[in-house]
Structure 1
Amino acid sequence: MHLYLGSASCVVASTAEAAREFLKNHETSFSDRPAETMAVESLTYGFKDFMFAPYGHYWRFMKKLCMSELLGGQMLKQLLHVRQQERKRFLSALLKKGEAGEAVDLGGELVMLSNNVISRMTMRRTNEGEEEVVRKVVADTVELSGKFNLSDFLWFLKGLDVQGFNKRLKEVRVRFDALLDRVIEEHQHEHERTQNKEEDILDVLLQISEDENAEVKLDMDNIKSFIMDILVAGTDTTAVTMEWAMAELINNQRVMEKAREEVDAVIGKKRVVEESDIGNLPYIQAIVKETLRLHPAGPLIVRETSKRVVVNGYDIPAKTRLFVNAWSIGRDPNHWDNPLDFRPERFIDEHGNIVSHLDVRGQHFELIPFGSGRRMCPGISLALPLLHATLAAIVQCFELKVDGILDMEEKPGLVVPRAHPLICVPLSRIHPFPSI
């Protein structure tokens, strides 16, 4: 489908076949992201980040760095204890609420969990006051990035702040800048004092910026914008997916009981499930896949043509924006039986194993919650273990009491959150509760 959003020419792909055509068969023509928006320019320090950088030498260098060092297996293994500690903190908070018979906003607790994990892995933030600053910056950034700004789409309004976005964007940028300046200064002082400290992602970026032989010379704006990318891309998306998963389980008690049976059989009740257990929990993996099918955190995969291209006989000019509708593709009856039903069994084979021919890593276009191709989400290796282990731990440890059936209405935004908070009383289902 072709349409105009104001002055911007756009193409929308809403089937797996169309997504394959654009993201695989014509990938080289759709390797850029549209960056000419007021929010992106302000929050990426003038397009100096990785997420919106044009496909080229700098982007390839940062992608290689992400996969090998920043978000690679060694870094994830090195910072495993961070995820474990924050998950324990999260479970302890739910346990205290449950023992007191108090209701909790599960979505809010999950946002705190994912934000703390990513903040600590990125820049070792453990101070409670500054954790709240990071959460507020991320929340404001996601909100502003997801709003429709007339000035971005009507050429005669370019440069005019008709909706007052620019003022708010500058205020968010100032807050984030002040926080990162403090954090970077602390990291640099720590580096001078000791050479044997545990490294986080910011440490690696600072080392590369000081390396005279590095393939690309990173400046402070590159580093700050990359940190912003990770915080914004990883916090709400992960939390929202976990909240949708738990809402679906609460409304589908048959699935919940089956998940509990699996976790109880494999893990028992004397310890809490860990990331290393996930390979032995195929039904938990299937629940996560089914959640990502019905509720992709990023419903639209956005690209932009770098040059004129012909796709399926249609002439698409340069600078046309492409929206791949992952939300619609995941609900397409041509590929999914009873597509609106929450049925994790569709990802389990006759032997009880997770099916291998429907993965979420961008090769099967019926299911592309993380995108596909060279510009798919590089944080998938961090997101999936956190999703699986947290979901399994909630299922194992708590019975979530709610009033009636949960409303599954969605709210618009850059991600697709629930329209109504998931308020529940988390009652422990393990007595005594395992040590955490």
Structure 2
Amino acid sequence: MDPSLIPTMTLVLCFLLTFFFFFLSTAKTRRRTGSVRGSLPPGPPGLPLVGNIFQLGFNPHRSLAVFSKTYGPIMSLKLGRLNAVVISSPEAAKEALKTHDHDLSARTFNDPIRAFDHHKHSVVWILPFLRKTIVKNLLSPQKLDAVQAIRTKKVEELVSLVNKYCERGEAIDMARASFVTAFNIISNALFSVDLATYDSNSSSCEFHDTVVHLMEISGKPNAGDYFRFLRFLDLQGSRKEAALCIETLFRVFQEFIDARMVAKRFSQTEASSIDMLDSLLDLTQQNEEEFSMNDMKHLLLDLFVAGTDTNSSTMEWAMTELIRNPEKMVKAQSEIRQVIGENGAVQESDIPRLPYLQAIVKETLRLHPPAPLIPRKSESDVQIFGFLVPKHTQVFVNVWAMGRDSSVWENPMTFEPERFLVREIDVKGKDFKLIPFGSGRRMCPGISMALKTMCMVLASLLYCFDWKLQNGVVPQNMDMSEVFGLTLHKAKSLYVVPIRKPTISS
């Protein structure tokens, strides 16, 4: 055979295989849906083979919100060979995440997550045992109180950093500054060291940049997610990139684990009540069959990836909205400075006395939820609002669309923290109008830690400084575009100039 014909023959073979699997899956779907009561939800028509993939665009949360206005709060799509159902109303979300929580407790995972078999060990995707482990050993009220001093210290370091920019009259990258703060809170709670720095020339930046890159890779659409028989090809190289990132992070984790095991071997002291690595090592020794060293490294990976980006993106959006709405910022600063006084410092115990600050955080999470689409997977055939959701269907709850629904919120596109002063709305999964952290057994286990960190960071920045945009940029002209991924980032980072209030001593 002419070697030049090989690429052409390969493409033809892939095309024929795609057609074969497409018609095979269609036949199976017809047989299954024909034997179960109920019909599939309505949805937009798609193209052969690819279905609705190309209709999602670069911001699928927005595209799906538009579709929901035509096809209703529950609709179905075909994403390659993947069946998907999208939910876009609090009522439908409640039925899915509460009434059918058990049947929709699974999750699909992007192809890069398969690197190092992370999908088999991750607390995010599987293993209820690990979820109990993380809550008991890391995120219980007692453990959160134990690391309060760490959170306070890292916020003080952030304020000190901002003060240096203030003295120089320079703008600070709000996303990076808040990211490093959240990152070091977690690294100190786990290892008692800083693993990130504001200095871009520091060696610790490699660890920080690796985590950021892994989050970017994991959030990108992947051909292997839509056509499972193409996964082994890793056409976009995402799994290979993810594997390199995970390998780097695991190497760092192993260094800390090895050093700590040596220290424990020669020390008779009990595990530290602050450093969580000791607790996790004790857990592996007590129950290695259920929680191995490998499980521990995957858990540490989840903590760094999920526990940092959410905080930094929310803080960046909060500061962005406050700068665009200066009267809201003044109102928040007035509340904080009145409660704290002129020469004090914000403490976590002050947060309950700052209702407007808490309302700002809630309003930011409404307009800019960290994860715009909450993913679930049906483990059996279920019915929602009379429509069939077949087994193995990918279910997305469009939290972003629900937060901007005019039938749920008055003036939904306007930043109005005041709405949460007159309506008591919970953000911890009980009120389905606002579920930025999910709900049910798959909701984010780090809600309390995230809210404590967000409120402390925001309160401290507003207490100590006033803020303005650099180079005469007008707030109304700020770029509000987004980048879709594991979290919803601003497309252009927020750079702001801090101005120290003369009544607050340094």
Shorter-chain TM range is over 0.9
1:260/1:199 Cα in 2 relative to 1: closer, same or farther (>3 Å)?
A: closer
TM-score relative to the length of structure 1: 0.92
Residue in structure 2 matched with residue 404 of structure 1 by the alignment:
474
Q: How does 1:30-429 map to 2 (within 5 A)?
A: 30-35=104-109, 37-42=110-115, 45=118, 47-53=120-126, 58-59=127-128, 61-126=129-194, 129=202, 131-194=204-267, 195-196=269-270, 197-212=272-287, 217-349=290-422, 355-356=423-424, 358-402=425-469, 403-405=473-475, 406-429=478-501
- Paired with 1:276 and 1:310, the residues of 2 have a C-alpha distance of 45
Deviations 1:339-373 (A, max 9, x none): 00000000113xxxxx43x1101111110000001
Paired residues of 1:44 and 1:225 also in contact (CA < 8 A) = no
Whole-angstrom distance in 2 between the partners of 1:430 and 1:304 = 55
Tell me the CA shift for residue 130 of structure 1. 6.1
Cα deviation per residue 1:188-229 (whole Å; 9 max; x = unaligned)?
1232343244442322211110015x8x63111110111111
Tell me which moved more, 259-268 or 125-134.
Answer: 125-134
Question: CA 1:44–1:258 in structure 2 vs 1: closer, same or farther (change >3 Å)?
Answer: farther
Partners of 1:280 and 1:190 lie apart in 2 by 43
- 1:3 Cα deviation after fit: 0.6
**Contact 1:275/1:386, CA 8 A, preserved across alignment:** no
Cα distance 1:49–1:337, how it changes in 2: closer, same or farther (>3 A)?
same
Segment of structure 1 superposing worse, 81-90 or 120-129: 120-129
| In 2: Cα distance, 1:395 partner to 1:193 partner | 47
Letter in 2 for 1:381: S
Structure 1 unpaired stretches of 5+? 350-354
Equivalents in 1 of 2:412, 2:192: separation in Å?
42
What is the TM-score when the length of structure 2 is the normalising length? 0.80
Task: Determine if contact 2:253/2:297 at 8 Å carries over to the other structure.
Answer: yes
1:28 aligns with 2:102: yes
CA distance in 1, matches of 2:401, 2:169: 40
Q: Which AA in structure 2 matches 1:158?
A: R
The equivalent residue for 2:76 is 2
- Rg larger in structure: 2
Partner deviation per Cα, 1:58-93 (whole Å, 9 max, x = no partner): 41x222223332211111111111111111111101
Bigger RCO (CA 8 Å, 6+ sep): 1
Unaligned runs of 5+ in 2: 1-74
SS at match of 1:332: coil
For residues 347 and 274 of structure 2, the distance between their equivalents in structure 1, rounded to whole angstroms, comes to: 23
C-alpha contact 1:116 1:131 (8 A) present in aligned 2: no
C-alpha distance in 2, partners of 1:261/1:46?
47
**What is the match of residue 352 of structure 1?**
none
Q: Secondary structure at the match of 2:194?
A: coil
Distance 1:323 1:18, change over 3 A: same
Is the 8 Å Cα contact of residues 138 and 276 (structure 2) preserved in structure 1?
yes
CA separation in 2, counterparts of 1:286 and 1:92? 26
Judge which range, 274-283 or 201-210, deviates more.
Answer: 201-210
Letter in 2 for 1:100: R
C-alpha contact (below 8 Å) 2:107/2:377 kept by paired residues: yes
State the shift of 1:426 in Å: 1.0
Q: Is the deviation greater in 264-273 or in 289-298?
A: 264-273
SS in 1 for 2:498: strand
Q: In 2, distance between residues paired with 1:192 and 1:26? A: 48
Q: How many pairs were matched up? A: 420
- The alpha carbon displacement at 1:105 in A equals 1.1
Secondary structure at the counterpart of residue 395 of structure 2? strand
8 Å CA contact retained: 2:481, 2:490: yes
The offset of 1:326, in angstroms, is 0.4
| Equivalent-residue separation in structure 2 for 1:334 and 1:114 (angstroms) | 35
Check whether the contact 2:111–2:231 (CA below 8 A) recurs between aligned residues: no
SS of residue paired to 1:401: strand
One-letter amino acid matched to 2:81: S
Task: Report which stretch shifted further, 164-173 or 142-151.
Answer: 164-173
2:103 counterpart SS class: helix
216-225 vs 381-390, greater mean Cα deviation: 216-225
C-alpha distance in 2, partners of 1:280/1:425? 28
CA distance in 2, matches of 1:84, 1:430: 24
- Cα offset, 1:44, TM superposition: 5.2
Q: How many percent of aligned residue pairs carry the same amino acid?
A: 37
